[in-house]
Amino acid sequence: MFCDLQGSTALSQQLDPEVLRDVIRSYQEVCAGAVARFEGHIAKYLCDGLLIYFGYPQAHEDDPQRSIRTGLAILEDMLVLNTRLRRDNDLELTVRIGVHTGLVVAGEMGGGVTLESLAIVGETPNIAARLEGAAEPNTVVISDVTAKLVQGLFLCNSMGIHELKGISQPMELFRVIEESSAQTRFDVAASTQLTPLVGRDQEVGLVMDRWEQVEEGQGQVVLVSGEAGIGKSRLLQGIYDGLESRPHWLVVNRCSPYHQNSPLFPIIESLEHWLGFRKGASSGERLQLLERRLEDYSFQITESVPLFAGLLSVPLVDRYPQLNLSPQRQRQRTIELLVQLLEETVSQQPVLAVYEDLHWADPTTLEFLGLLVDQVATSKVMAIFTFRPEFTPPWGSRGHFTQITLNRLPQRLATDMMARLTGGKELPEEVVTQIAAKSDGVPLFVEELTQMVIESGLLYEVDGQYELSSPLTALAILQPFKTRLQPGWTGWGK
């Protein structure tokens, strides 16, 4: 990512050097804050330009997403900074941001006092800088490569094909408008078409069994653990389908890797959804929606409205008395009310409360769930928790807990998945064997590798099946491990 101030030369003529330094420093602080939040790395301050890495030195599964979220966060935080600068210095800063994804060589560069231990070499940073140059004021521009990696997660407008100075291939550029409503890759997949569920009959069956107990008033907690991409979200979808004809109320709470320090984030999000808060709704509207919803519950309104309003950051009006609770007590009461909210909803119909990706949960959410697991035992609630193996549920084991561990798919089922992904068109046997081996039975990798093979140009279609267009001798399908596949990888058939 490249981030730069526009018109800084003019600025340096207009301002006293010391004032200029302070202004630039505030801008750099804004950038540094956003970069830190999304765990990128500022590699270089080039006066008012910043070169930022995502994926190195710290890699995440979603680095392209993180870079764009960082860009949008910088633009948003600059609005606040500009309000101050307008007031104090009678000026406004304009930033432009470019993001590109690609391979680089990383390692030490230079020597002596100018030794850089985390330097990178390659075309990627140059392209990012060119994209920044092509950006309109206060926008984030991304390359087609990056755009493909975040497809569906952001609303982007094409800026057409551009020739970039010093870059041989013309490239389609995109301006990022905003985050889309899809939060994860799974949402994006689900919004078009999910691969039909293969296997997992036992797991779905077990949950359906437990649901019968829930209907009889014996609440259940189901803990689903499995590595990234193994199919936790897909299993949930299978469970929702299984419950379709049974009356229930579904509430989905999802932890986010970007909000691990934001107390009760997953609960707040799902409450906002339940209350029908729209983006851009006024605080008056929000308060009204909250009041109307809470009327259906036995809460004491003078307590519950201020507490929920506090949780949802809705400003209160004078009608409500001050609560005079210590912050700790306030948190405690809020958590109790949240549990009560679920409990009372149960009197209408059984509740399926899902808490996804607990490895990203904040401590307050875990505290809330600790209270919930106790309450669940005697009510018509099923709580399903999903998490990766690195998370250990802090609640021990109880009689009403069921543990499900999702394992990798056996080759037979991985092959099934491939057949569904190609719409029934048969893949050459060598390809099937390769994909099965390289994906190691992780469904996410089965999907990605199959997709990659179909798009690679290595196959052609004849009589409703795929044939290899050249022998598959030195075929090396990239071992994906836990990282995303590298864009632009051309190892096929070479």
Ligand X SMILES: Nc1ncnc2c1ncn2[C@@H]1O[C@H](COP(=O)(O)OP(=O)(O)O)[C@@H](O)[C@H]1O
Applying CB under 6 A, the residues found at the interface with ligand X are 186, 189, 194-195, 197-200, 226, 228-234, 417, 443-444, 447
Is 346 or 352 the residue whose CB approaches Mg ion more closely?
352
Does the protein bind Mg ion through residue 225 (CB under 5 A)?
no
Say how far apart CA 101 and CA 147 lie, in whole Å. 9
Nearer Cβ to Mg ion (41/60)? 60
Nearer to Mg ion, 36 or 228 (CB): 228
Cβ(466)–Cβ(428) under 8 Å? yes
Smaller CB distance to ligand X: residue 195 or 332? 195
Evaluate whether 324 touches 291 at the Cβ level (below 8 Å).
Answer: no
Written as one string, the DSSP assignment of 188-205 is HHHHH-PPPP-S-HHHHH
Give the neighbor-by-neighbor strand order of the sheet with 2-6: 41-46, 49-53, 2-6, 94-99, 139-143, 171-179, 154-162
Q: Which entry of ligand X, Mg ion, none binds 198, CB below 5 to 8 A by partner kind?
A: ligand X
Please state the closest distance from residue 413 (CB atom) to ligand X, in A.
7
From Mg ion, ligand X, none, interface partner of 64 (C-beta below 5 to 8 A by class): none
Residue number with CB closer to ligand X (185 or 331) = 185
CB of 236 to Mg ion, least distance (A): 8
Among 52, 188, 234, smallest CA distance to 131 is for: 52
Q: Which is nearer to Mg ion, 256 or 283 (CB)?
A: 256
Closest distance to ligand X from the beta carbon of 183 (Å) = 12
- With a CB cutoff of 8 Å and minimum separation 6, the contacts of 304 are 294, 297, 337
Residue closest to Mg ion when measured from CB atoms: 233
Residue 195 binds which of ligand X, Mg ion, none (CB < 5-8 A, kind-dependent): ligand X
Kindly state the smallest distance separating residue 236's Cβ from ligand X, in Å: 8
Minimal CB distance residue for ligand X: 231
Binding partner of residue 194 among ligand X, Mg ion, none, CB cut-off 5 to 8 Å per kind:
ligand X
Contacts to Mg ion from residues 435-494, by CB under 5 A: none
Contact partner at residue 272 from Mg ion, ligand X, none, CB < 5 to 8 Å by partner kind? none
- In the list 124, 139, 225, 233, the residue contacting Mg ion (rule: CB under 5 A) is 233
Q: How far is the CB of 231 from ligand X (least distance, A)?
A: 3
- Taking the complex as a whole, how short is the minimal distance between the CB of residue 61 and ligand X, in angstroms? 9
**SS3 label, residue 20:** helix
Nearer to ligand X, 306 or 443 (CB): 443
* Closer to Mg ion by Cβ: residue 225 or 415: 225
Q: Which is nearer to ligand X, 134 or 189 (CB)?
A: 189
Provide the minimum distance between the beta carbon of 255 and Mg ion in the complex, in angstroms, as a whole number. 10
CB 287 within 8 A of CB 309: yes
Judged by beta carbon, residue 234 or residue 331, the one nearer Mg ion is: 234
- Cα–Cα dist 101/120, whole Å: 13
| Structural contact between residues 71 and 38, judged by C-beta atoms closer than 8 angstroms | no
Query: Among Mg ion, ligand X, none, what does residue 447 contact (CB within 5–8 Å per kind)?
Result: ligand X
Distance of alpha carbon 112 from alpha carbon 106, whole angstroms? 18
Residue 71 binding target from ligand X, Mg ion, none, CB below 5 to 8 Å by type: none
Q: Which stretch binds Mg ion (CB under 5 A): 68-76, 120-128, 231-239, 426-434?
A: 231-239
Residue matched to tokens 């809020």: 334
**Shortest reach from residue 91's CB to ligand X, in Å:** 46
Cβ neighbours for 461, distance < 8 A, ≥ 6 positions apart: 425, 467
CB 453, min distance to ligand X, A: 16
The site partner of 443 among Mg ion, ligand X, none (C-beta below 5 to 8 Å per kind) is: ligand X
Angle between helices 265-275 and 283-294 (to 10 degrees): 90
Shortest approach of Mg ion to residue 373 CB, angstroms? Answer: 21
Helix, strand, coil percentages (3-state) for the chain, rounded to 5, are: 45, 20, 35
**Shortest distance in whole angstroms from residue 204 CB to ligand X:** 10
Measured from the CB atom, the residue of 151 and 158 that comes closer to ligand X is 151
Beta partners for 250?
352
Give the nearer residue to ligand X in terms of CB position, either 137 or 196: 196
- Site for Mg ion contains 365 (CB under 5 A): no
> Considering the complex, what minimum distance in angstroms separates the CB of residue 235 from ligand X?
7
Identify what 270 binds: ligand X, Mg ion, none; CB under 5 to 8 Å per kind.
Answer: none
Determine the size of the site formed for Mg ion (CB under 5 A): 2
Applying CB under 5 A, the residues found at the interface with Mg ion are 232-233
